[in-house]
Amino acid sequence: MAGGQEDIPTLILRSRKERKDRCTIWPLRTHPAVRIVHYPCRELPSPENAILLHPDGAPLSAADAGRPIIILDGSWRHAASMATHYARVERRSLPGVSTAYPRSSKLGTDPDGGLASVEALYVAHMLTGRPTAGLLAHYRQGPEFLELLGSNDPDALSVPLSETNPS
């Protein structure tokens, strides 16, 4: 759909310190709904009128539809330093959503209500009317996460055609 939500990819700034084998976002690198940029990078993308998903922001809502979304993908400690580059970008949070991701922080740096990046991506897309198809297809805890949300979205768990039939 030209001019629709499909035309606005969610920007994911992915820390190079994240292990690919534990990264919930890496399997989506070819998904049309996302654009992954490795951090640090020479030039940080900063889409006009963007919002940054951050625990300290006002709640994300349907009113934010049509605005580019930036997600920081890294440990909570690394994400905090990454966020300093986006200090002037409006922040939005995803309160009241529980994670299905098994926590492993030995430093206690995970905030209450913290989500895996792929979970935040899914909820942000759901709340702003963006496509959710395939976003949880490679996420081991996807079915459990949908159950926690009370969502019946089988499309989120299916592999998109673009991944099964590359052209």
Q: What is the pLDDT of residue 20?
A: 78
Residue 83 in tokens: 């966020």
Model pTM score: 0.85
- Residue 156 pLDDT exceeds 70: yes
User: What is the CB neighbour count within 10 angstroms for residue 120?
Assistant: 27
* 11 touches 68 (CB < 8 A): yes
Which residue has better confidence, 109 or 27?
27
Map residue 155 onto helix, strand or coil. Answer: helix
For the segment 27-56, the average pLDDT, to the nearest whole number, is 89
User: How many Å from the N-terminal Cα to the C-terminal Cα in the chain?
Assistant: 20
**pLDDT tens per residue across span 126-137:** 999 999 999 999
**pLDDT tens per residue across span 31-43:** 999 999 988 888 8
**pLDDT tens per residue across span 88-101:** 999 999 988 889 98
Domain containing 70 equals 5-164
Average pLDDT over all residues of the chain:
84
Q: What is the pLDDT of residue 3?
A: 45
- For tokens 């949908």, the residue is 146
> What domain count does the chain have?
1
Cα–Cα distance between 129 and 5 in angstroms, integer? Answer: 7
